[in-house]
Amino acid sequence: MTSTAHEWLNAHGDYLYRFALARLRDAHLAEDAVQETFLAAIKNPNFAAQSSPRTWLTGILKHKIIDTMRKGQREVVASDLMNEEDANMDEFFDATGHWAEKPIAWNMPSDALEQKQFLGILQNCMDKLPKKLAALFLMRDVHETDNEEICKELQITTTNAWVMLYRARMSLRKCLEINWITG
């Protein structure tokens, strides 16, 4: 059993790490999630019977990623959901509800080099978001986790989730607009 686990770590460890890193965007958190995944796997009685270990391990990892997000949840509530007024994001709009700065059309990347630059800027913009907010945004906006499931797992209300996702999208949009070529 132990040798199977070792084989799996060698065969799937890097893949699982990349999967976690793509979502958690933090090397240490991603390593820990992979570690927790293997711990859970070897404790599972169905361990040896898995015909498709990678799919099975990835399923466990998804839950570990949500666990990681949940651990930092209080922090998010404190910093991002202080009150309704804050959630109104007044900085983006004037007193009459009009755009304080009107959105400018983006020149989307037209070749591989531009694409790389664009993704680099996006990466920087994501790094500026509070980590857990970025993780929630990633979980949601790649369409792989159901909204209600996220809320249940993170123990937040759906209304809170909408507010948080709105904040994340507004901040990212603004950051991209400032840093990417517009015109």
Partner 1 sequence: MLSCQSASRLVSQSLDRPLHWQEKLALRFHLAICRHCRRFAKQLNQLRSAVKTMMQRTEADASIVLNPEAKARIMHIIQQHH
Site for partner 1 in 28-87 (CB under 8 A): 31, 34-35, 38-39, 42-43
Query: What does DSSP assign to residue 129?
Result: S
Q: Which member of 102, 110, 111, 113 binds partner 1 (CB under 8 A)?
A: 102
Q: Is residue 160 a contact partner of residue 81, using CB atoms and an 8 Å limit?
A: yes
| The two three-digit tokens of residue 98, written as one number | 């009009």
| The two three-digit tokens of residue 46, written as one number | 């169905």
Give one DSSP letter per residue of 46-106, joined into a string.
Answer: TGGG-S-HHHHHHHHHHHHHHHHHHHTHHHHHHHH-S-HHHHT-GGGB-TTSSBSS----B
Nearer to partner 1, 79 or 88 (CB): 88
Nearer to partner 1, 5 or 77 (CB): 5
Told to check if 124 binds partner 1 by CB under 8 A, we report no
| Closest separation in Å from C-beta 56 to partner 1 | 16
Q: Which member of 78, 82, 108, 178 binds partner 1 (CB under 8 A)?
A: 108
Question: What residue has token string 């070792």?
Answer: 6
Site for partner 1 in 135-164 (CB under 8 A): 137-138, 140-142, 147, 158, 161-162
Cα separation of 95 and 91, whole Å? 10
Sort 16 into a burial class: Cβ within 10 Å, 0-12 / 13-18 / 19+: buried
In the complex, the residues that contact partner 1 under the rule CB under 8 A are 1-2, 5-6, 9, 13-19, 21-23, 27, 31, 34-35, 38-39, 42-43, 88-89, 92-93, 96-99, 102-106, 108, 115, 118-119, 122-123, 126, 137-138, 140-142, 147, 158, 161-162, 165-166, 169-170, 172-173, 176-177
